[in-house]
Amino acid sequence: MRITPSLLNADFSRLADEAARIPTADFLHMDVMDNHFVPNLTLGAPVIESLAKVAGQPIDAHLMIADPDRWAPQFVEAGASSVTFHVEAAAAPVRLARELRSLGARASMALKPATPIEPYEDMLPELDMVLIMTVEPGFGGQKFLDICLPKIRRTRAMLDKVGGDIWLQVDGGVSLETIERCAEAGADTFVAGSAVYGAEDPSAMVEALRDKAITACAH
């Protein structure tokens, strides 16, 4: 069970310090938004490059951007260990996944809440991770969408059929109140933003979230 806190809810003026507050995190989840694919503007490759030089955790770059086929490779060069593109925005997702892998990164594909997983079953072996959005992308602090749980279950069944070590990540409204449902549905990697950085002790919250997910899967 992996916890990848989103720095969207951190203090952008001191990202290195904010990353250091969560040494228990498995990855740092960086939300890249371009104000085209989603109605918000956050950060780009230069910020990730700067953070990658000083952070103790690997970086998981979630690209909520138009034309990821063109821009995604830059984030590997900037130091991201994992790069997630949205299938809704990619012109050639198989080619893009292969390019990211060839550059040495983990290739991940994200789906918005209303995007079905079924059309992409045949390309799952090309991926290292699938990200199921459990809110509409664009802003932190949103309420978890329960309607996404059946899709998480269907995706887990597909991944089990494919075999291999393909992670299943969920992003949006993940908290101590919702992480158990996600884990029971088959997710193994969890993005939590406001739940972590809104806590008095963010590192302890990362541990608490991981423990909840592990306990849910043990039932």
Q: Which DSSP string corresponds to 6-66?
A: BGGGS-GGGHHHHHHT-TT-S-EEEEEEBSSSSS-B---HHHHHHHHHH-SS-EEEEEE-S
Predicted local confidence at residue 218, as pLDDT: 75
pTM confidence score: 0.96
Given 26, 128, 171, 188, the catalytic residue: 171
Predicted local confidence at residue 82, as pLDDT: 98
Q: Residues 89, 111: contact at Cβ < 8 Å? A: no
**Which of these ranges, 97-111, 129-143, 160-174, has the smallest mean pLDDT?**
129-143
Predicted local confidence at residue 219, as pLDDT: 64
Nearest CA among 113, 126, 105, 92 for reference residue 61:
105
Is 171 marked active-site?
Answer: yes
pLDDT in tens, 57-67: 999 999 999 99
The arithmetic mean of pLDDT across residues 170-174, rounded, is 93
Given 31, 34, 128, 188, the catalytic residue: 31
Is 160 marked active-site?
Answer: no
- The percent of residues in the chain predicted with pLDDT above 70, rounded, is 99
The arithmetic mean of pLDDT across residues 150-161, rounded, is 97
Domains of the chain: 2-218 (3.20.20.70)
Compute the distance between CA of residue 39 and CA of residue 33 in angstroms, rounded to an integer: 8
pLDDT in tens, 186-213: 999 999 999 999 999 999 999 999 999 9
78 or 193, higher pLDDT? 78
Compute the distance between CA of residue 54 and CA of residue 41 in angstroms, rounded to an integer: 24
pLDDT in tens, 79-114: 999 999 999 999 999 999 999 999 999 999 999 999
